Amino acid sequence: MTERTQAKTVSSAALGVRSTLLGVFVNAVLAAVKAIAGILGNSYALIADAIESTSDIASSLVVLGGIKIASVPADHDHPYGHGKAEPLAAMVVAVALITAAIGIAIQSTREIITPHHAPAPFTLIVLMLVIVTKELLYRFVFRVGVEAHSTAIKTDAWHHRSDALTSTAAFIGISIALIGGPGYESADDWAAMFASCVIAYNGVRLLKPTVAEIMDAAPPRDIEVQVRKAAAAVNGVIGLDKCLVRKMGLTYYVDLHVVVDGETSVRRGHDVAHRVKDAIRHSNPKISDVLIHIEPGTKS
What pLDDT digit, counting tens, does each position of 135-182 carry? 998 998 888 888 877 777 887 787 788 778 778 877 888 888 888 877
pLDDT at 300: 63
- State pLDDT tens for residues 30-53: 888 888 988 888 777 677 778 777
- State pLDDT tens for residues 124-136: 888 899 899 989 9
Q: Are residues 13 and 43 in the same domain?
A: yes
Domain with 282 in it: 221-297
**Bridge partners, residue 240, by sequence:** 258
pLDDT of 5 > 80? The answer is no
- State pLDDT tens for residues 252-299: 899 999 999 988 899 999 999 999 999 999 998 888 889 999 999 887
d(CA 141, CA 26): 12
* CATH number, residue 172: 1.20.1510.10
Mark which of 214, 236, 253 sits at the end of a domain. Answer: 214
Q: Are residues 274 and 157 in the same domain?
A: no
The arithmetic mean of pLDDT across residues 80-98, rounded, is 83
Contact indicator for 222, 258 with CB cutoff of 8 Å: no
**Average per-residue pLDDT for the chain:** 83
pLDDT of 119 > 90? The answer is no
Point out the least confidently predicted range of 5-19, 66-80, 82-96.
5-19
Query: How far are the Cα atoms of 61, 70, 255, 269, 291 from residue 233, in angstroms, in the given order?
Result: 44, 32, 17, 15, 17
Q: Are residues 201 and 226 in the same domain?
A: no
Comparing CA positions, the residue from 55, 73, 51, 62 lying closest to residue 16 is 62
Instruction: Report DSSP state, residue 117.
Output: P
Q: Are residues 114 and 248 in the same domain?
A: no
Q: What is the pTM of this model?
A: 0.65
Q: Are residues 163 and 16 in the same domain?
A: yes
**Bridge partners, residue 292, by sequence:** 256
Which strand (E) or helix (H) includes residue 125?
helix 122-148
